Amino acid sequence: MQKPVHVGIIMDGNGRWAKQRGLVRTQGHLEGLAAAKRIVKAASDIGIKYLTLYVFSTENWKRTAEEVGFIMGLIKQYLRAEFDFSKKNKIRVRHAGDITALPKDIQKEIIDTIKDTADFEGLQVVLAINYGGRDEIIRAVRKFAAANGDMEKISEKDICAYLDNPDIPDPDLIIRSAGEYRTSNFLLWEGAYSEFYISKKFWPDWDKEDLEAAVEDFMTRDRRFGSVANQE
């Protein structure tokens, strides 16, 4: 099989990585950011077209104000600091999720980064920040209702058209680090036929070889989409 066009990653295990080393959780997030940078470069080198990174879920607000504040700070720092890297590697940055509920300064950084990288034609990195699959579907339905009024005939195609990034194909492969077998509200609609790859490794330990292993595993899968394999 071909390599995946769109890969989504649930970057989990930052806290456990830190705990294992007797460090505070925020240290895990710092190392998680370094891993994210490695994996963006690796995805670009491998020739993946779209990479969606689950950065912060609609449920992650339940964490302490200190942890949430630290993660928001890292997002801001990352968006600011990575422009030269994005320019050099032609990386286009996009966003998925409800931007309106994010702190104003983060909203501005996201909007500016999207604008500044809009013409880059290499890897597209979708940052899922304040993202929830259920929330995305609800917002899509509301946008459809506002534009069309009549809900009676709403179709799959209509919902697809109002998702956060309607031009991006569904993820072929969804990776989760740190061993948990759940979606945690990631790409619920788009992931209907995604292949899943779960790795025990905590996110801060991820490197290019781990992404390559996931891609190689994906290439051995038999995707049937509800049909029958090898139909004559």
Residue among 100, 8, 110, 107 nearest 50 (CA): 8
Of residues 101 through 160, those in contact with Mg ion by CB under 5 A are: none
Residue 12 binds to Mg ion (criterion: CB under 5 A)? yes
Q: Which stretch binds ligand IPE (CB under 6 A): 53-61, 89-97, 135-143, 208-216?
A: 53-61
DSSP 186: S
Q: What tokens does 93 get?
A: 């940055």
| Of positions 54, 144, 162, 197, contacts ligand IPE by CB under 6 A | 54
Report what 11 binds from ligand IPE, Mg ion, none; CB cut-off 5-8 Å by kind.
ligand IPE
Residue among 133, 137, 185 nearest 163 (CA): 137
Q: Which stretch binds ligand IPE (CB under 6 A): 5-13, 85-93, 147-155, 158-166?
A: 5-13
Q: Contact at 8 Å (CB) between 131 and 58?
A: yes
Q: Contact at 8 Å (CB) between 130 and 68?
A: no
Residue among 211, 179, 218 nearest 196 (CA): 218
Residue 206 binds to ligand IPE (criterion: CB under 6 A)? no
Examine the residue annotation and report whether 12 is marked as an active-site residue of this protein.
Answer: yes
- Per CB under 6 A, residues contacting ligand IPE are 10-16, 32, 54-57, 60, 71, 178, 180, 182, 184
Could you list the residues that contact Mg ion (CB under 5 A)?
A: 12
